[in-house]
Homo-oligomer: A and B are copies of this chain.
């Protein structure tokens, strides 16, 4: 069976496995001071175009979101995010466990928090004279791409940054699947733009070719993030495990290549499905595709192609999620489309 149900059910890019094998016999400085981590951080700073960026390598996405937000927020502040966002729904209250409320706003159909929605909320918040009794907005959380494969445009990102500047908010972007956003056709959101707009964002490794690992990029030096991430259990003793993976991902453009492989496959899948008359909810230019399949189509997939039911429909059909990844091939896509014939 070809499993397209998610993008984190496989191993790592062969280049990473090779590097791991090569490094296994050596001795490496601990807690992120090994040569791989130092090199990875340097390469990420270069890719972001900000020599002042402060880069930390953490293990997983929920951990990263909670750890970074807890470091960016004052105790009385909450983080604004789309109601469908990962921190609001699928992290078992990791942000709240650090003492902060997730302030949810309605997303657009692509899972994005529209600048207009954010502005309306902020205007109303500060116009409400009871606002000192409420959780103070302290940061904005976005995902690029969103849970629904949606992509912010550069204009949207800049508009949100401008609102953050006006209202004293920090901007944080969850890039669990960032490789697939960066590779999406037509996107104008680049690593340098993220680096310029965000107080912090992370470059996802786990879902983009690594075994584990997420690289957090702060726009400015963080004198205290070392104890801050140690305190949240996010500092790996054998830091070279993360350093080596990101050093490899940021060598010879591997990270972008892995992203492109997935996005190209997703495009082929989308086109093939469209040719079969399938509609999408929503449409996505990244590695996650959300076709609306009939009960008959679902039956054809069962046992052949792994998928995730996103939303069951009254007629027995469903919106499903089909995920490509850096290791999906056009042959996999062909098989998936063939199953639906």
Q: Is the CB of A59 within 8 A of B236?
A: yes
Chain B residues positioned under 8 Å from A63 (CB to CB): 232-234
Q: Is the CB of A3 within 8 A of B27?
A: yes
**Does A70 make an interface contact (CB < 8 A)?**
yes
Query: Residues 1-20 of chain A: 1 if any B CB is under 8 Å from the residue's CB, otherwise 0?
Result: 00100101111101001001
Taking the closest CB of chain B, its distance from the CB of A77, in whole angstroms, is 8
**Does A84 make an interface contact (CB < 8 A)?**
no
Taking the closest CB of chain B, its distance from the CB of A65, in whole angstroms, is 8
Chain B CB count within 10 A is highest, among A9, A10, A78, A231, for A231
From known contacts A30-B9, A230-B62, A236-B60, infer whether A97 and B94 are also in contact, taking CB-CB under 8 Å: no
From known contacts A89-B134, A99-B96, infer whether A75 and B235 are also in contact, taking CB-CB under 8 Å: no
Chain B residues positioned under 8 Å from A283 (CB to CB): none
Q: In the complex, which residue of chain B has the Cβ closest to the Cβ of A61?
A: B237
**Does A98 make an interface contact (CB < 8 A)?**
yes
User: Which residues from 75 to 99 on chain A have a C-beta closer than 8 Å to any C-beta of chain B?
Assistant: 75-76, 78, 89-94, 96-99
**Interface SS majority for chain A:** loop
Q: In the complex, which residue of chain B has the Cβ closest to the Cβ of A225?
A: B76
Q: Is the CB of A231 within 8 A of B20?
A: no
Q: Is the CB of B134 within 8 A of A227?
A: yes
Q: Tell me the complex Cα distance, A40–B66, Å.
A: 29
Q: Is the CB of A17 within 8 A of B10?
A: no
Q: Is the CB of B238 within 8 A of A212?
A: yes
Q: In the complex, which residue of chain B has the Cβ closest to the Cβ of A8?
A: B237
Q: Is the CB of B30 within 8 A of A11?
A: no
From known contacts A9-B27, A10-B27, A96-B96, infer whether A135 and B227 are also in contact, taking CB-CB under 8 Å: yes
Query: Residues 122-139 of chain A: 1 if any B CB is under 8 Å from the residue's CB, otherwise 0?
Result: 000000001011111000
User: Which residues from 151 to 193 on chain A have a C-beta closer than 8 Å to any C-beta of chain B?
Assistant: none
**Does A26 make an interface contact (CB < 8 A)?**
yes
Taking the closest CB of chain B, its distance from the CB of A105, in whole angstroms, is 13
**Does A24 make an interface contact (CB < 8 A)?**
yes
Q: Is the CB of B227 within 8 A of A241?
A: no
Q: Tell me the complex Cα distance, A212–B60, Å.
A: 13
Chain B residues positioned under 8 Å from A102 (CB to CB): 101
Q: Is the CB of B93 within 8 A of A101?
A: yes
**Does A276 make an interface contact (CB < 8 A)?**
no
Q: In the complex, which residue of chain B has the Cβ closest to the Cβ of A25?
A: B11
Q: Tell me the complex Cα distance, A17–B23, Å.
A: 11
User: Which residues from 217 to 235 on chain A have a C-beta closer than 8 Å to any C-beta of chain B?
Assistant: 224, 226-228, 230-235
Taking the closest CB of chain B, its distance from the CB of A102, in whole angstroms, is 8
Q: Is the CB of B93 within 8 A of A135?
A: yes
